[in-house]
Structure 1
Amino acid sequence: MNPGKAIQNKINGVKQNFADYKKLDSKDKKTYWKEFLLNNALYILLIVAIIYTYIQNSNFLSAASIVNIISLSAANLPIACGIAGCIVLTGTDLSAGRVVGLTACITASLMQSVTYATKMFPNLPVLPIPLVILIVLLVGGIVGWVNGFFVAKFQLHPFIVTLATQLIVYGLLLMYIMINGNNGQPLSGLDQHFNDVVKGSVVSFNAGGARIAIPNYVWLAAVIVIIMWFIWNKTTFGKNMFAVGSNPEAAKVSGVNVMRTTILVHTLAGAMYGLTGFIESSRIGSNTANTGLNYECDAIAACVIGGVSFVGGTGKISGVVLGVFLLRIIFVALNFLSINMNMQYVIKGLIILVACAIDMRKYLVRK
């Protein structure tokens, strides 16, 4: 569709909605605004929180802070895009964070500098970056395939399957970081070229007398988002995913291979977790068994905030991106307000609870 025509169609849609609103009587208008406020309560609270934080600390919306928010969001976009597909299928993935941790530690161990004193594999040269990406994609994809196979083949609930693989992957991670006498020590001392490629910068600008750099992994995340948008919206696989999420029985009758689609969605999700681990290994710089801990919680919250519904068959990549940014803005705001870390976990849990409640309410109203 022509971009100009698409914009014009949206404008016409807004005009039509306004015309329909004007035809409502006073009682219906009150109901309309009540529904609007309830359905968008989380967004309204987020906006209020942003304004309040800026009033308390004007540095919150400085150029450096905005770039920091973008960078932190970009690091979490791949895992959110992956887990969103599982949610579209009315499931979830509790193993995501541990897969990120495993692939981050694998990446770090393969990309340690040859001169690093406690290199895990002392006789192994620094591997080519494309090969390492292929390895983490494969590792993440295998875990995702296992999740999808057990969900599709044995009709097990994704919560149970991914809880089991979460424990399995964590056990494998603990064993991996003990290899060659590493004894669980942090995997650091990464090759400088690797760090330059991932968290180095080819784009920077001056703001307030300081040079602010945009990390390269932001552009990698942007490419991943574009690819995922294409898969969701322009491929038969994407259409099948939404069909299975909406009604698996109807999709099966329509000729969709439900088992194959379910397995592929989880495999793709696992690959996205692998890419997240690849980015995190360099971004963190010192990887341990705790790398990736609770990442799935942030990703699930971002997806629900972005409109990916747990009732299945509903969601957009643009919504996932929006959800990731909004959630990251809140977490950065909490730090600017010096909120205790323990309290941040409480707030994070409340955000997930409220987002899911609003999502279910929308579903019940439609039903």
Structure 2
Amino acid sequence: MSAVEATADARGGALNDWLRERISHALSEFTAATALVVLFVALSFASPYFLTADNLFNIGAQTAVIAIIAAAQTMVIITRGIDLSVGSVAALAGVAGAMVVRDLGFPLLAATAVAIGVGALAGLLNGLLVTVARIPPFIATLGTMSVGRGLVFIMTGAVGVYGLPRSFQLLGNGEIIGIPFAVVITVLVAVGVAFLLSQTRFGQYTYAMGSNLEAARRSGIAVGRNLTYVYVLAGVLVGLGGMIAASRVNSGQPNYGISLELDVIAAAVIGGASLFGGQGRIVGTIIGAFLIALVRNGAVLLDISIHYQQVIVGLIIWAAVYFDQYRRRRLESRG
């Protein structure tokens, strides 16, 4: 075989791999979207309150928080990492934002910047623990989860932050021409993160690190620096999500976000992100976030215990991870 023929065969194989991967992503997203439509229709018949304007607005606002933080989790998962600290960091950011409004008189925009800053610092801590201290992401973020939760209880004395002005509710409960403001923010975040992952060198490096960290390092990618960037950006989104969550209830709640990591991991995996790294798209994550929000909302409307809700989310995670493994085996067998 000539060098030209070998090059052509290599290019053809790479194209086939790319097509198979694209088809796999599309299949994951289509499956998640189908499940979302089926659940939406089922809840429309199961509860007379589901299609009311108030409930749909509530679903939009609830989805926004899950989707924004799930977008953060997706970036981390693509690098073959995991962030278990999202719930406690979101609570810490929301409480910090609420406290500077109540105690220091900060306007909402400045308080939101404070919350985002808290998230960014937590993300930087996670990134340095993973890249400099070389602690596995699971353990590093587990520690941050514990530290963050402890700090928020220390700051508040385990008591919610109340006495906030009505303007504090704008992020979580405001609307623009009938559309929840939180949904508008979510769309902007989704578009921005999708662009970063698909159209920039940062995104290429993110996927490369998740596919093969050592190969990425040998190809000249500054792995430590770029991986830290991923965690910092994820922290920024978690801080924003935590501020929106606090705004929804017009208070800073130290108990917020307990088990939130399950919802956002489920949203990312349902949407096609692989826990083995190197795969994931924001479109799928948003679909997964809506599905999780509908499960939570429907369970409340149908008076299903929160304990059963946890069982349902756990089963969804199992099913999504199994499907991911099955998809990977199929791709490998065809390769």
TM-score scaled by length of structure 2: 0.85
- Which residue is equivalent to 1:188? 162
Residue ranges of structure 1 left out of the alignment (5+ in a row): 1-16, 18-35, 113-120, 179-183, 205-213
Paired with 1:170 and 1:195, the residues of 2 have a C-alpha distance of 24
The answer to whether residue 129 in structure 2 is matched with residue 140 in structure 1 is no
Q: How does 1:21-36 map to 2 (within 5 A)?
A: none
Secondary structure (helix, strand or coil) at the match of 2:230 reads: helix
Paired with 1:98 and 1:219, the residues of 2 have a C-alpha distance of 25
Q: 2:79, 2:207 within 8 Å by CA — same for their partners in 1?
A: yes
Letter in 2 for 1:233: S
Q: How does 1:110-259 map to 2 (within 5 A)?
A: 110-112=100-102, 121=103, 124=104, 126-178=105-157, 184-196=158-170, 198-204=172-178, 214-259=179-224
Q: 1:62 to 1:274 in 2, by over 3 A?
A: same
Paired with 1:242 and 1:38, the residues of 2 have a C-alpha distance of 18
Letter in 2 for 1:145: L
Q: 1:39, 1:358 within 8 Å by CA — same for their partners in 2?
A: no
Q: 1:344 to 1:103 in 2, by over 3 A?
A: same
Q: 1:147, CA displacement in angstroms?
A: 1.0
Q: 1:81 to 1:37 in 2, by over 3 A?
A: closer
Letter in 2 for 1:140: G
Letter in 2 for 1:238: G
Q: 2:98, 2:161 within 8 Å by CA — same for their partners in 1?
A: yes
- Which residue is equivalent to 2:314? 349
Paired with 1:223 and 1:56, the residues of 2 have a C-alpha distance of 33
- Which residue is equivalent to 1:116? none
Paired with 2:53 and 2:266, the residues of 1 have a C-alpha distance of 26
Q: 1:149, CA displacement in angstroms?
A: 1.4
Q: 1:131, CA displacement in angstroms?
A: 2.3
Paired with 2:284 and 2:31, the residues of 1 have a C-alpha distance of 16
Paired with 1:39 and 1:271, the residues of 2 have a C-alpha distance of 26
Indicate the structure with greater helix content.
2
Paired with 1:39 and 1:286, the residues of 2 have a C-alpha distance of 35
Secondary structure (helix, strand or coil) at the match of 2:274 reads: coil
Letter in 2 for 1:128: P
- Which residue is equivalent to 1:327? 292
> How large is the Cα RMSD of the aligned pairs?
2.5
Q: 1:344, CA displacement in angstroms?
A: 1.1
What are the Cα deviations for residues 211-238 of structure 1, in whole angstroms up to 9, with x where unaligned? xxx3322212222222212211222111
What are the Cα deviations for residues 169-193 of structure 1, in whole angstroms up to 9, with x where unaligned? 1111111113xxxxx3211121222
Q: 2:93, 2:119 within 8 Å by CA — same for their partners in 1?
A: yes
Q: 1:82 to 1:177 in 2, by over 3 A?
A: same
Q: 1:247 to 1:334 in 2, by over 3 A?
A: same
Paired with 1:351 and 1:52, the residues of 2 have a C-alpha distance of 17
What are the Cα deviations for residues 74-116 of structure 1, in whole angstroms up to 9, with x where unaligned? 122221111111100111111110000001111111122xxxx
Paired with 1:110 and 1:248, the residues of 2 have a C-alpha distance of 41
Match among 68, 72, 78 for residue 88 of structure 1: 78
Secondary structure (helix, strand or coil) at the match of 2:204 reads: helix
Match among 271, 274, 278 for residue 313 of structure 1: 278
Q: 2:75, 2:230 within 8 Å by CA — same for their partners in 1?
A: yes
Paired with 1:253 and 1:37, the residues of 2 have a C-alpha distance of 33
Q: Aligned pair count?
A: 309
Paired with 1:244 and 1:51, the residues of 2 have a C-alpha distance of 40
TM-score scaled by length of structure 1: 0.78
Q: 1:148, 1:267 within 8 Å by CA — same for their partners in 2?
A: yes
- Which residue is equivalent to 2:61? 71
Letter in 2 for 1:163: L
Letter in 1 for 2:187: A
Q: 1:51 to 1:247 in 2, by over 3 A?
A: same
The answer to whether residue 99 in structure 2 is matched with residue 99 in structure 1 is no
Q: 1:39, CA displacement in angstroms?
A: 10
Paired with 2:66 and 2:171, the residues of 1 have a C-alpha distance of 18
Paired with 2:305 and 2:91, the residues of 1 have a C-alpha distance of 25
Residue ranges of structure 2 left out of the alignment (5+ in a row): 1-19, 21-25
Match among 203, 221, 225 for residue 260 of structure 1: 225
